Amino acid sequence: MNLIANQDVVVVGAGFAGLAAGAALSKAGLQVTLLEAGNGTNASFRGELLHPGGVRALESIGLGEALWGAGSVRIQGFAAFGAPDQPVPLPYDPMSGDGAGFEHAGLLAAFRSHVGDGKIRLLSRTRAERLLFERRRVVGVAVDGGDEYRAPLVIAADGRHSKLRTLLGLPTQSTLLSYTVAPALDGDLLPIPGTGHVFVGAPGPILAYPYGHHRVRMVIDIPLGVTHGRESIAHYVRENYAAHVPSPLREAMVSALDRGAFASSANHAVTTEACAVAGAALVGDAGGCSHPLTATGMTTALHDVTTLVGCLRSFGLTDQALVAYQKQRYRFVRAREVFAHSLYDVLRGAGPGARAMRDGVFHYWRNQERARRVSIQILTGDDSSPATFLAEYARVVAISGWQTGWEALRGRTAPETAHPLAALFATAGSCLDVAVGKAVSTVRLERTQALAPLPQ
């Protein structure tokens, strides 16, 4: 066994969050060791969209050149399609800058090249097996070869199914939401270039965006319970989704499905109640994640990284820094979780209440520039205030209720209007229950000065 103890921080996981953490910590003057279980390549589908706040964060930690040097393309905002020929533009605020679309593996390769040129020690094929504890705090990591890497701080950046999170005994709730089918297409196929597209009306929402020059990714949400197998899934998508996508994107999508040229993944919502213990912290998906429809996973990871580094600058490698990080992280993350839950529930339109809400959202967006501006600020995290979200949600509920009641009254007798309105308010009530629960959790963290206890 070798004991290596000349670093300030050990980061477990060298994916997007881990590499960003390594770069930010190194720039802050800390000695960093990155431990990666694999060999640096992963063919699985991963996030490929970054909102402007994430781009700004990468530039602030010295990875902006690597981002644009990896063939990334600029994204100016989104467009939501209630029908294939009815887009509602949701542009980013010009003052916020552009977002970015990229091929994930290529971006990580660029990050690794940048990290390799610096003071960071990056070790591939080095799997963390257990944590080292002394005096009721984490003091390092033991890896599969028997070596021990000791440091005042260990960061878990090992993804949504984090092994370190389990070893730390942090309470976690994980819910399987749906599946993703993600064909990669060649050509300039999007109706609005340089923009992310959301198509609704199918059993699940469809996200399409440029992720390279003349390259388009489609992220198709498939409900639970659909027949497994690539041919069966491809048939299901052709039959139930193609009509909601405009040409020529539709034909390219169907062709890719017919060839079996698509990736797939499961979509989870992972919620944690704490993200720090004495000597260790979680960042990125290890600290929790939401449905990828909102494309905020990597932006949230970068918020984690920059927030943690800011707390370390203020308080040093201390528990006080980790307490501050935990509070600041959840102020941002809880708002993202509520928004992702609400948006996914509305855009998939799984019941009459959700479909009424969806109609209300599109009516709101089409008729008010302010609505479009505030919605994109919430989406990107530029406005993470729960009060802003709840005010906007209340407006959508009011508009949806007015539309639902009016349409029902035009074709039915008054007693029959109760059912669609009841479904609408039941959907809204479910969202508010989630929002209240997360608000209570956040307030609880705000009031404590203690870190989560370590497992016995």
Checking if the pLDDT of 424 tops 70, the result is no
Give how far the C-alpha of residue 56 lies from the chain's centroid of Cα atoms, to the nearest Å: 17
Q: What is the pLDDT of residue 329?
A: 93
Task: Indicate the range of 166-175, 197-206, 400-409 predicted with least confidence.
Answer: 400-409
Checking if the pLDDT of 185 tops 50, the result is yes
Checking if the pLDDT of 1 tops 80, the result is no
Q: What is the pLDDT of residue 85?
A: 87
List all residues 6 or more positions away from 145 whose beta carbon is below 8 Å from its beta carbon.
Answer: 126
Checking if the pLDDT of 11 tops 80, the result is yes
The CA R_g of the chain, rounded to the nearest whole Å, is 23
Q: What is the mean pLDDT of residues 1-9?
A: 75
Angle at 215 between CA 255 and CA 300, to 5 degrees: 115
Checking if the pLDDT of 76 tops 90, the result is yes
Angle at 166 between CA 162 and CA 171, to 5 degrees: 105
Decide: 92 and 382 in contact? Cβ < 8 Å: no
Checking if the pLDDT of 406 tops 60, the result is no
Checking if the pLDDT of 413 tops 50, the result is no
What does the DSSP assignment read for 43-107? -S----EE-HHHHHHHHHTT-HHHHHHTT-EEE-EEEEESSTT-EEEEEPPGGG--EEE--HHHH
Q: What is the pLDDT of residue 417?
A: 47
Q: What is the pLDDT of residue 115?
A: 82
For 46-58, write each residue's pLDDT tens digit: 889 999 999 999 9
Decide: 226 and 236 in contact? Cβ < 8 Å: yes
Q: What is the mean pLDDT of residues 148-163?
A: 96
The DSSP output letter for 269 is E
Helix axes 52-60, 297-315, angle to 10 degrees: 40
Decide: 364 and 371 in contact? Cβ < 8 Å: yes
What CATH homologous superfamily does 3-73+97-173+270-336 map to?
Answer: FAD/NAD(P)-binding domain (3.50.50.60)
Decide: 14 and 124 in contact? Cβ < 8 Å: yes
| Residue % of the chain over a pLDDT of 70 | 88
Cα separation, 406 vs 408, whole angstroms: 5
For 330-367, write each residue's pLDDT tens digit: 888 888 888 888 888 888 877 877 788 888 889 899 99
Checking if the pLDDT of 241 tops 50, the result is yes
Per DSSP (E only), the strands in 283-425 are 288-289
For 112-122, write each residue's pLDDT tens digit: 988 876 678 99
Q: What is the mean pLDDT of residues 160-183?
A: 94
Angle at 28 between CA 38 and CA 129, to 5 degrees: 30
Give 42 or 204, the one with higher predicted confidence. Answer: 204
Query: How confident is the prediction for the chain on average, in pLDDT?
Result: 88
Q: What is the pLDDT of residue 165?
A: 96
Sign of CA dihedral 282, 10, 126, 134: negative
Enumerate the β-bridge partners of residue 111.
none
Task: Indicate the range of 183-192, 209-218, 244-253, 262-271 predicted with least confidence.
Answer: 262-271
Q: Which CATH number fits domain 174-268: 3.40.50.720, 3.40.640.10, 3.30.1330.10, 3.30.9.30?
A: 3.30.9.30
Give 16 or 84, the one with higher predicted confidence. Answer: 16
Task: Indicate the range of 82-96, 383-397, 413-427 predicted with least confidence.
Answer: 413-427
Checking if the pLDDT of 415 tops 90, the result is no
Domain boundaries, the chain: 3-73+97-173+270-336, 174-268, 339-446
For 302-319, write each residue's pLDDT tens digit: 999 999 999 999 999 999
Checking if the pLDDT of 412 tops 60, the result is no
Strands 99-101 and 280-282: unpaired
Q: What is the pLDDT of residue 434?
A: 67
Checking if the pLDDT of 438 tops 80, the result is no
Whether 174-268 and 3-73+97-173+270-336 are alike in CATH topology: the answer is no
Cα separation, 456 vs 329, whole angstroms: 26
Nearest to 128 by CA among 100, 149, 102, 104: 149
Task: Indicate the range of 110-119, 198-207, 276-285 predicted with least confidence.
Answer: 110-119
Q: What is the mean pLDDT of residues 71-78?
A: 96
The DSSP output letter for 195 is -
Per DSSP (E only), the strands in 244-348 are 262-272, 276-277, 280-282, 288-289
Highest mean pLDDT among 2-11, 216-225, 290-299, 327-336 belongs to 216-225
Checking if the pLDDT of 264 tops 70, the result is yes
Enumerate the β-bridge partners of residue 271.
173, 288
